[in-house]
Structure formats: structure tokens, C-alpha cells
Chains A and B, each alone.
Chain A
């Protein structure tokens, strides 16, 4: 049985939601067109995972109203663990669908950097948003879920870093869910203009058990000529979410995007992390860690596509699968015709911790140019008995030895996260999941 694309919201609902947000006309129209297209478009097709019976369309509420926070001190304790209340300079907190707190330093504002919730951005920086919103990186009509996302977008953040500006301290977003009925059609749009530099870290964080709802997240990260973006994320959404999360990068000439992604959702998840190396000499490094547990079913596609000459793509995925969880890891390096001297490298390692767990690493290299370099390594296996023996011979119990090995295995991504609290949180999440 196929779940029907029966939409919870009508065109009228979407129109009135858009009006209530005071959105510009072009955006209201974009929503309307998108909604009309959902029906006709194909479904997303994650390789090797059958999602026919997954429900991506039903949720208890499109938006829920939540109280805002007057200061970071009011944040729930759990959120304070990831936000440095004293030290974090620039931070956006979204509570369910409500922009709940924003702090941007004067210095940042003086540099012309924009950091604001997506609705404010639509009103105050409409032209900039219009230029980049689902135009370059992700497009509305890719498939049903991108169209649904555009039609129902109910939160997110916009960041713009002007030409030549280097933002020293990391910018942080926390998308916090504490209403069981909340859905997330969240849009993150980051544009780093020519020769600028920025570090951004986001958390999707659940403080409540959700009622069979949706997270449909689209993140567009655009590095213009010579720009560098460091992007960190830790997703820990509750099992009640069915998640489609699409993080897409675009690098122009000599630009670079480095991703460090801790994909630790507790529910069924389709995650795509794709970077298009459009410009010559541009670079993408995508490091991902995953722990699949319980009865989770997940599909991860990490792709770097080399269009530019001498562009460099690197993919590293380390994953642990336990209990009766299932996870597919598709790693794709694609070098387009004309991308001479391009390099596409990838490594996927999957550790299986129980006999009922299913993990599959699926490395793909598609090369349409001769003068290039490429390589891949993939493995699916168990914790190495010799490593366990070595650690145990020092008095460390089997359980602790296994834990050390797993933490070590996931370390290449953990160590890349630029905010200390988020790094610690990821370590704790891993600890909780592998225990």
C-alpha cells in the first residue's frame, strides 16, 4: 500500500498562513505554485531504501505558537548545555516554529552580516532571499518533498555574509522542539559572498516525544568566489519525527565548504548531503557520523559533484549501527565532463554492533572526464577483536573497550565541530546511543 499524497493543508490554508506572516507576494506565489506541484512531482528516491510505506505528509499541526525567551538565561537546562550562555555571541533560538531568541553582536551588524529568522528575512531582505531561495542549490521541483517544503515552510534562518567579511566567532542556531504536535518545515539559507568567511553550527534538538510528525528540512549553503564556510550540525530529533533533511552546498570559484555532520536523529530519516563544486579550484569536505539504533530505518546519501576544474571533493562517513536498526550509506563522487584535474575521494566505514543490525555502504564513482583522480574505500564490519584484546589486556572491560573504540571511530567528525558545547553534546549523544 502506498501512502497517498493527501495534503493536510489546502491552497487556502497556505495563502492565509503566508498572509499572517506578512510575506512578500513573490513568496506567497512561490508557495502556491509549489503546493500545486506536489501532486504531480515524483517522490524522492533514496537509493536502496524502500520508502513506499513511509509517511512524509501527515502531521498534527502545521505551526504551533510558542513563548519566546527574553534572554539565554531562560533557556531550558538541556539547551543551555549546547549554547554557551555567557560566551556565545551570535545565536538564534527557534522554539518549535517560533523565532524565540536572537542575539547578534553590534560588531557583526556593523560588518553588514545578516543573521535573522527566515520570516524576518523575507520581509527585510526580500531581494537577497529571493535571489537565493531555492534557485541555485535546491529547486522547488526536484521532487514531492522539496515542493512540499517550499509550500509549507514554517521556520528557519537566513545568514548573509558580505564580500570580504570574515566572521571570527561561530554563528549558532538551535531548533528546539518542545511541543509534541510541532512539525518542522525548516529552511536554512546561508550565503557567503565573495572572499568572505563564516562558521555556522546548528542543532535540531528535541525536548519532547513527538506525535508522528514531520521534519522536512532544506538547507542551502552557498559559498561565492573565494568564500569559505565551515558548517557543523548535530541532529537529535525525537523518534516521533519522520525526517527528510537535505543539506546542499554550492561552491563557486576557489570557494570551500567543510561540513561536519552528526546525524543522530532517533526516528526514520532520509538525509542527503550534496555539494556541487561549480567553480574551478573549489573544495568540499563532507564528514558525517551516524549512530543507528532501535528499529530505525535510515538512508544517507553523501555526494560531491565536481563541475569545476581542479575542484576537490572529499567524503568521509563513519557509522555505527546497532539493535535492529537499518541504514544505507550511499557515497557518490561524480566528476562532470570538463572538470579536468578534479579529485573525488570517499571513505565509508560502517561498524555493526549486533547481529540484527543492517548496514550497507554503497560507494559510487561516476567519472566523465579523463584527466582526474578519484578513489573510494568502503567497509562494513564488526569491532576489531584484536583491538578489543589489546585494550582489555590493559584491564579495560569489554564494554568500555568497545565504547572507546566507537568513540575513536566517530572522533574524526566530533573533533571538527567548532563549538565546544555542541562537541560535548555529540559525545554524550553517542555515549547514550551506544551504551
Chain B
């Protein structure tokens, strides 16, 4: 932790950043905190979020950057958070010149739990790199199910939805000002469970964009395996368009450009 605190302290004292978005224990809880030069002593308590208490810092940064577009901010990032930063740069929500990442490497436990293919940031200021998990067993299990069984399983999960929008509200990649999930002509209102397609629509929006931080699934009060759905959506984007979500070299999102050639063909009937 000393290395991380020293880096943050020097960034703040040298005036390289206007503030640092990290974590601090408040009333016994690890919570997101904004560290500034004025309250430099707080940096001694700066910490890395425990695995079970992660927050969408990227989302807080979007709000900060929106209010102070000229300021440079440092932010604590895990592998997933950094993928998020890279996607947000592409979608014009953040300016890479105005963000300084303070990198964290996840523990092996966390990486195994997340089935994370890249559990560390490009700069590591805290933790040791662990082994990535290339394949998701949860996705593979659904893949092997018969169509009817898969349908029943998903249907049972979707029926539990209480339409709290928690998955959307916590998602660092959900930055739209208008949401089609709230569009009266596209999604039925005033009923529970919501339309069966509710989660599928979100999965479509997450495809090629989900950074696999897993906050949606942890937030969901109905225990819908959202992460499996979004992991698969991303895997499909990889298969169809060879696009790696959150990789700085991956080029523009396939949903953002028409492309120079039609690389796919319509499936025969």
C-alpha cells in the first residue's frame, strides 16, 4: 500500500492532478473518496478496495470530468476499470489526456471468482499479477444446454427481475442520458416481471462494451446471472468482429462504424 500512497502523494503535491479518486474507510466501511492536495493527510489512509466492496469509480470520474472538463484526475483502477477507461475514451466520455491511472492487480481469488481474462491494470502500483482465467465455465455450462433447457433457465431468471434498474445504474459503461429501457414504446411499463426481453436488450447494449467488472450481478437483488449473459455477448463480438473490449489497440467499436467491407453474410434460411 505504501507504494500506492507515495505515488498518490507525489501526484497531488507536484500538482500533476487536481485530485485522486480512491477508497477510504468511513464509519467502518470502505467507500469511494476524493483525495485532494488540501487534505493531504488523508492519503495516509488511502487504500485499495477489498474484493467485496468495489464501486464504479469510472462512473464517478465521468461525473467529475463533466463538471471540471479542464482538470486532470488520478483514479484507482483494477484491470476491469482500466478496460472501462479505454472504452470510455473511445465513446468520447473521457479524455485520455486528463486521466492518470493508479493501477491495482487483483488477487487470484478475485480473478477466479470473476473468471477474469485480465485481472491487472497496465501499471501496477499495488498487488502482484496473478494468473488470468481464459475461459468462463459459467458460459460453457449454458452453451452445452439444449435450447429448451437454456430457455427455461433464462426465463426463470428473467422472471425474478423487479425492474429496479440497479444493473444499469451501477454500470460504469451506461452513460446514455436517455435509456431505451425506459422508452414507453419499446418496453412495457407498469408490470412485474418486466418484459422478458428486458435483460436481452441490455445484453445487446453491453455487447462490445461490457468490461466484465461484475458490479451488475453483485448489485442485482434477484440474483440474475447477468454476467454470464454479458460475457457471452462479448465473446460473440470477439467471434464475429474480432473486437477485444477495452483493449487500447482494438480500434473503434464494430457498432460505431459501418466498416469498409461487409465481413459477414446473412445466414441461409
A and B: real partners?
no
Chain A positions near chain B (C-beta within 8 angstroms):
none
